[in-house]
Chains A and B, each alone.
Chain A
Amino acid sequence: MLPSPEGGCANSVEQALVASARAGSAAAFSALVQRHQQAVRAFARRLGGDLVEADDLAQEAFVTAWSHLHRFDGRASFRAWVCGVVYRKALTARRGAIRGMGRDGAYAGSRDWGSDGVEPAAKTALRRAMSALPVDQRAAVALCLAADFSHAEAADALNLPLGTVKSHVTRGRAKLLELMGGPDA
């Protein structure tokens, strides 16, 4: 499970870093990236695509975050905000990719989770099951079940209503277990 950088002291440090980065400090921005790269990259990976694409997406999201830092109002955590950027960029990229692949259906099934070697069968099954979820459900599951986001935080990040996120997580979990042949299947 990814560590959550939340908490009073951590929050004040984060606020200071955001303020400095907003003022143009590359060091503060670098510190923010260092604090949140694990969570953001993990989220990008769980959204799909291979590892290189996911890391590229995460990089892009951080760069966008820096140039649009004035829009970050601090209502959600910085981590949630950047994950929201990742989600929106992933949606845009996929819409473009699907359009670009034309009508021959070549895109379907052409992409999968990256695997860089031997992987336990259960993890492979989980990756495949995640790929089978609708993208918004997958995003909600990736945030709430894999990255310790609260439902409210995920709702902020994904710009979805709280009830929708809750149902995505519940349905997504059930679907994952069903696809993996789990106890609730």
Chain B
Amino acid sequence: MPEFPMSESPMSESLMSEFDSHPGAEVDLAALFADDGPPAHDADFVAAVVRRAGRQRLAFELVWSGLVAALSALVLWAVGPVLAPVVKPLAAVFAVFAPIGLIAASVLFLAHPRTAGI
């Protein structure tokens, strides 16, 4: 594969009109291009795209939820002593279990047959 050089600057109008005076050339190319595409209906492709998109969206939501949980735990842990002596132990428990929950959810997510692979 060549190094994908970008093309040169736009050509002059006169040169373009010179090429445009050969309409037959485009018809030939169009005929060659005509039927080399993929099928008009491909349920497998569509399903693969939707699955992949769903998986990505789920991963995003999982990470987002994990971040929110971690931040909440941090805030609770920080303000716990100020609010009440009862809150801090609860926050500590939450701070321990939130990451564990996140890891468990990630493992389940990756192992689940609907999201593992395409």
Tell me which residues across on chain B come within 8 A of A137, comparing CB atoms.
7
Mark interface residues in A101-145 (1 if CB within 8 Å of B CB, else 0). Answer: 000000111111000000000110010000110111100000001
- Stretch from B49-57, B83-91, B95-103, B106-114 contacting the other chain: B49-57
Q: Knowing A45-B38, A126-B29, say if A59 contacts B7 (CB, 8 Å).
A: no
CA distance A13 to B29 in the complex (A): 32
Which A residues from 125 to 172 make CB contacts under 8 A with B?
Answer: 126, 131-132, 134-137, 145-146, 161, 163-164, 166-168, 170-171
Which B residues from 30 to 86 make CB contacts under 8 A with A?
Answer: 30, 32-34, 36-42, 45-46, 48-50, 52-54, 56-57, 60
Q: Is the CB of B32 within 8 A of A126?
A: yes
User: A52 CB to closest chain B CB, in angstroms?
Assistant: 12
Q: Is the CB of A67 within 8 A of B48?
A: no
Q: Is the CB of B37 within 8 A of A170?
A: no
Q: Is the CB of A108 within 8 A of B37?
A: no
Interface size of B in residues (CB-CB distance below 8 Å): 44
Q: Interface SS of chain A: helix, strand, loop or mixed?
A: helix
Q: Is the CB of B37 within 8 A of A67?
A: no
Tell me which residues across on chain A come within 8 A of B53, comparing CB atoms.
26, 29, 62-63, 66-67
Decide yes or no whether A174 CB sits under 8 A from chain B. yes
From A3, A26, A37, A46, B54 is in contact (CB under 8 Å) with A26
Tell me which residues across on chain B come within 8 A of A59, comparing CB atoms.
45, 48-49, 52, 118
From A34, A46, A111, B1 is in contact (CB under 8 Å) with A111
- Which chain B residue lies CB-closest to A98? B3
Q: Is the CB of A63 within 8 A of B16?
A: no
User: B8 CB to closest chain A CB, in angstroms?
Assistant: 8
Tell me which residues across on chain B come within 8 A of A38, comparing CB atoms.
37-40, 42
Which A residues from 53 to 76 make CB contacts under 8 A with B?
Answer: 55, 58-60, 62-63, 66-67
Q: Knowing A45-B38, A63-B56, A111-B1, say if A33 contacts B33 (CB, 8 Å).
A: no
Can you list 7 contacts pairing A with B, beta carbon distance less than 8 Å? A46-B33, A55-B45, A59-B45, A98-B3, A170-B15, A171-B7, A182-B28
